Amino acid sequence: MNSHTILDSPIGPLTAVANDAGLAAVYMAQHLRRPGWESFGERVDPSASPVLSAAAEQLGEYFAGARREFSVPLAPVGNAFQHRVWDALRQIPYGELRSYGDVAAMLGGRSMAQAVGAANGRNPISIIVPCHRVVGADGSLVGYAGGLERKQFLLELENPSRTHTEALF
């Protein structure tokens, strides 16, 4: 059974969704491909769920610059290939970038770059499964379900010396 909470963040409200197995989703406002609210279950205070409480605490620490890795149990819904991609995303170190081709190579072949991009775009656990660390082959900011401004914010949070302002236009 799903439950959800709304968390404040520097990039706007985040909707965290938990199921019986763990954290199922973290969606941003205006998130592309976000399912309907009815699928999120009852809205609860984060303290009512150990998973939502951990997600709230860890995301707060991340935005404060005090957390680089997450330990909240994850339970995203997706097919086997999407899970492979999402697992690969979690291997990208904090503050670093990889191209879609790089992630495809991690999974067995650069020819899968478009499929990786599609799975990346379906990642339901934003920030914690760091799809924001994936960029175009030329280093440009492309394809972020939460919007390129949020992607830029997250990348600059993780590595303040990196700016991609020019890639937004």
Q: Please give the positions annotated as active site.
A: 131
Two tokens, residue 132: 């924001």
- Single out the residue of 80, 67, 59 nearest to residue 12, CA to CA: 59
Residue 27: which residues within 8 A CB-CB, separation 6 or more?
A: 14, 15, 17, 34, 124, 126
Write the DSSP string, 35-74.
PPGGGG-EE--GGG-HHHHHHHHHHHHHHTT--SS--S-B
Rounded to whole angstroms, the Cα distance separating 24 from 83 reads: 12
Rounded to whole angstroms, the Cα distance separating 169 from 90 reads: 28
Two tokens, residue 90: 């979690």
Query: Which secondary-structure segment (H or E) carries 16?
Result: strand 14-19
- Single out the residue of 88, 90, 72, 82 nearest to residue 19, CA to CA: 72
